[in-house]
Amino acid sequence: MSSEKKDRNKKIGYGSLAAAGAGAGALIFPKVRRKVKAAAHKVQDKKEDVKEDVKEEAADVKRDIKEELAHEMQNQIQKKLQSKVKEAAGKLEAAKEKNAENVHGKAEEMRDKVQDALLKVRGKLKDFKEAGEEFQEKIKPEGQRSRMRSVRDIKSMNQLKSASGMKSAANLKRPSEIKSASDIKTMSSISNK
- Considering the domain boundaries, does residue 186 fall inside one? no
Count CB atoms within 10 A of the CB of residue 32. Answer: 13
Distance CA 23, CA 157 (A): 161
Total tally of structural domains belonging to the chain? 1
For position 88, what pLDDT does the model report? 93
**Does residue 96 carry a pLDDT above 60?**
yes
Structural domain range at position 74: 25-136
Provide the Cα torsion 145, 147, 149, 155; round to 10°: -90
- The reply to whether 107 falls in a domain is yes
CA 134, 139, 140, 145 torsion: positive or negative?
positive
Residue pair 27/33 in contact by the 8 Å Cβ criterion:
yes
Output 142 or 96, whichever has higher pLDDT.
96
Note whether residue 117 is domain-resident.
yes
Q: Which of 40-44, 52-56, 142-146 is most confident?
A: 52-56
| Assigned domain for 30 exists | yes
What are 24-49's pLDDT values in tens digits? 555 567 777 777 777 777 777 777 77
Q: Is the pTM for the entire model greater than 0.95?
A: no
Distance between CA 137 and CA 43 in Å, rounded? 137
Residue 150 lies in a domain: no
The answer to whether position 179 is within a domain reads no
Mean pLDDT lowest among 88-92, 127-131, 140-144, 176-180:
140-144
H-type helices in the chain, by residue range? 3-24, 30-139, 142-146, 187-192
In a domain, 2, yes or no: no
